[in-house]
Structure 1
């Protein structure tokens, strides 16, 4: 998403743009898998919300309004086997939420209202805006100022850890404060056929080289030399004016390791090399429509790392043997952190069997006849916004200059909107100096 957003801005500025993409399609981690057996055919739908300003600008520009599907924000928190709804846009849901006492409910509500007043300053997509709030405090430390341990484990922790895969003890309080400021009253959407359509439209006008992995990046006399290997093994080097390195931080660090410090300074190298990612694994099953809550995030409460952290259900239509449409749910199961690492070492057959066994610890009524459908794994899925990360990110953004600049969601949050903003800023650095 970051690279394609940068491409759009550079093309608009009159530049000729070449995109090297190692995968078979554009979109990076925002790209979904597709299966013709289901309708819509898209797999995991990445959610986005009504406060994604750039996303909605692009949707209107490209006439994609008919691709939007509004989703329920139904969160079901399971504490010691007992489920309870927690809706982010429902005051009644919060005030009647049974897993915590009245004092915690009021504390959570008061904290949310307090941060909502600072909505413009607490921009979750913009590290420059968040840097002043990134004072080294963790999300857990911030939460305990207004919530009891039980309130934290059953209110704030499920809202963060079930969506982001991190531990609140490891991330900056600025991230949580920004989420609280933005999410209250927000509407949630998915693209009917996948979010990658935005990346594809942003990249229109570029020379797109799919399945071309960049293996080397050098700069000589101010000119950028890029070597890429195609899917058939052919290696080719080309020369360019400048480059936006829009990859994961670890790949960016490796590609630019040999560049001199006047191009990639010490702070930038440290920023790239110390970025930490959480791996992700989603194991999906087709289940009978009536067997699971619809459009729901079923999440585990508590401080422990559970076997399964989250189940997300999306309605889908399949065809039976006679071609008749049948409503089903596509249930995505996300294991806990330790189980994710273990399951990633197993075969797909073992992953399906083990996850199906583990999921009943969160949701005992998970259908025994659930049909294994698709597995998606990402060893580097979620860049971790550790305390101090936004301050460091803002500093690195200020240091960037032609001919080598960087873009990616690791500058702020693993959100498509943040990735696009990062790409736009990188392009601005090149057009300002070019």
Structure 2
């Protein structure tokens, strides 16, 4: 189907808005349905007027993100980037040791593991760096040939001791994503080693959602609309959505691009005939598992903790508290003056996250606050509970074998229903952007 067609995009996150940009450029009329009251999806930051700057940091941009780098240049957003420290503090029984992702010297002085493990880890990393062009954190087409069914843990234990893996690579994977190394493909770990060293880490001063908003320019937005039903009627796709105020909306489109988490996509397309959503795609969606995410933030006095620090738990066990990230902020006092503070984001371990998702904020703060000293023993006792953000579909788990399935689904995609999302490869905004671009191409390419 060529330009002039009318396309519905379900989900206004990074994947959906990247697809919108491509479809609008191709001459399509695009309507984006988004449940939230703004764009960005899981990359959207919250904003709070009590702090300056008012943005709650969410996802990071890393300098080797190709598509996002192109968008930053295209939209003139370089001044919006704030560089973060690459230092990670890995904690063992309350003892933090710095481990920089771009400093061999930091690795060689890292005292949590033996010298032999440090050298083995360095040689393993250098070997993967040399194969960088074969490895990708974003592209399943590149990842699939190397997805041999082994896990990240199995890969790591082949190259360093168990303690070496549990205090070198495991915290750098599980400290950024809450899934277990025993559950994810070795390709994910290999790509991480190949690309992270020497990279720059950034956040957007006003929130990463600006990329989604720019990409969606020209689309008709249906914010605060939750899509409840998709039907194929006379060759068209009928979309039914419910506004947060309770008013249902029904519209008809030539085709639809679904950029929601996989379980939601499976539910929405349950009534689609098998010649529209085949068994391969349906199984791929229905079997995708997620680790939920829970961010519990506190304000503490400046100087009471390291600033711009990423503090993660080492070791093989699922810890009570997985990690902390500190960002400098200012808060107005009773006289209107600005006081330097640190905004500390804390993330419980997997079991605690699953237990606390969906509970009241009072219950979540009450459960997490006693855990703070399990990761940082000197966490300030006068910390001020600030804000909580939860995402039931936080991190799609890139299990062994899923890259092959992702490629198969991608190659079978076509009108009138296609899918996009970071679950096609790994939970990064770059993977989401790439999936959106490819899903849009599946709608616009005439066979």
Instruction: Give the TM bin, normalised by the shorter chain.
Output: over 0.9
- 8 Å CA contact 1:283–1:375 kept in 2: the answer is yes
Match of 1:418 among 411, 423, 431: 431
Kindly provide the CA deviation profile for residues 162-203 of structure 1, in whole angstroms up to 9, marking residues without a partner as x. 111011011000111111111111010000010000000000
Match of residue 281 from structure 1: 294
Match of 2:268 among 237, 247, 255: 255
* TM-score, normalised relative to structure 2: 0.96
Match of residue 161 from structure 2: 148
Distance in 2 of aligned mates of 1:71 and 1:81: 24
Kindly provide the CA deviation profile for residues 301-358 of structure 1, in whole angstroms up to 9, marking residues without a partner as x. 1111111110110111111112211111000111111111222354312321221111
Match of residue 360 from structure 1: 373
Paired residues for 1:144-183 under 5 Å:
144-183=157-196
Match of residue 199 from structure 2: 186
Match of 1:46 among 34, 59, 66: 59
Runs of 4+ more than 3 Å apart:
none
* TM-score, normalised relative to structure 1: 0.98
Kindly provide the CA deviation profile for residues 382-416 of structure 1, in whole angstroms up to 9, marking residues without a partner as x. 00000001111011100101110000011111111
Match of residue 134 from structure 1: 147
Please tell me whether residue 102 in structure 1 is matched to residue 126 in structure 2.
no
Question: For the aligned residues, what is the CA RMSD?
Answer: 1.0
Please tell me whether residue 432 in structure 1 is matched to residue 445 in structure 2.
yes
- 8 Å CA contact 1:401–1:433 kept in 2: the answer is no
SS in 2 for 1:360: helix
Match of 1:92 among 105, 121, 136: 105
Change (3 A) 1:198 1:151: same
Match of residue 10 from structure 2: none
SS in 1 for 2:379: coil
- 8 Å CA contact 1:402–1:433 kept in 2: the answer is no
Please tell me whether residue 115 in structure 1 is matched to residue 128 in structure 2.
yes
- 8 Å CA contact 2:117–2:164 kept in 1: the answer is yes
Task: Give, in angstroms, the shift of residue 23 of structure 1.
Answer: 0.7
SS in 2 for 1:26: coil
Kindly provide the CA deviation profile for residues 112-167 of structure 1, in whole angstroms up to 9, marking residues without a partner as x. 11111121221111011100111100000000111101101110110111111011
SS in 1 for 2:132: coil
Distance in 1 of aligned mates of 2:408 and 2:127: 28
Distance in 2 of aligned mates of 1:229 and 1:237: 9
Unaligned stretches of 5+ in structure 1? none
Please tell me whether residue 32 in structure 1 is matched to residue 76 in structure 2.
no
